[in-house]
Amino acid sequence: MANTYSQIYIQIVFAVKGRDNLIASLWKQELYKYITGIITNEGQKLIAINGMQDHIHILVGLKPTKALSELVRDIKAYSSRFINDNQWVLGKFEWQEGFGAFSYSHSQIPNVVKYIENQEEHHKVKTFRDEYLEFLKLYDVDFKPEYVFE
């Protein structure tokens, strides 16, 4: 789209199916590099990526030519296949259905990047469930708690 200029920053959050602790520190950096490639190949800009054994946070600069749901679908599908092809888990690896997406202004980006980079420290005092519910409440997202997690 000629003459289209945008600045859309989205933090994407999604979990391993069942919130199982399957993302091993041994291979998570390789997974993050692979996801970076997916995002880049989709024509989007990765700003930050990190997570824990049971979930992942991704901050992207999203261009308006790509639907967010399509980007997340592709990240989850291709990265699941990558994990399974490498046989990094016993059985079949899957991401949980759905995702959270939270938007930010340009001035908030340094704080969001720091938050994503410090996931390990953050989760010493807060569970993923508590973190995710806090995001939903903070951003005033309507939700039914019984449907948030499988």
Q: What's the confidence (pLDDT) of residue 117?
A: 96
Between strands 8-15 and 55-62, the pairing is: antiparallel
Any idea what DSSP says for residue 38?
A: H
Q: Provide the token pair at 23.
A: 């993302």
Q: Provide the token pair at 104.
A: 């930010």
Distance CA 92, CA 107 (A): 40
| Strand ranges inside the chain, DSSP E | 8-15, 45-51, 55-62, 100-104
Average pLDDT over residues 24-50: 97
Residue (of 38, 31, 9) closest to 111 by Cα position: 9
**Domains recognised in the chain with CATH numbers:** 8-144 (3.30.70.1290)
Over residues 42-101, the pLDDT tens digits come to 999 999 999 999 999 999 999 998 999 999 999 999 999 999 999 999 999 999 999 999
CA distances from 81 to 37, 77, 103 (A): 14, 6, 28
pTM assigned to the model: 0.90
**Residue whose token pair is 């508590």:** 130
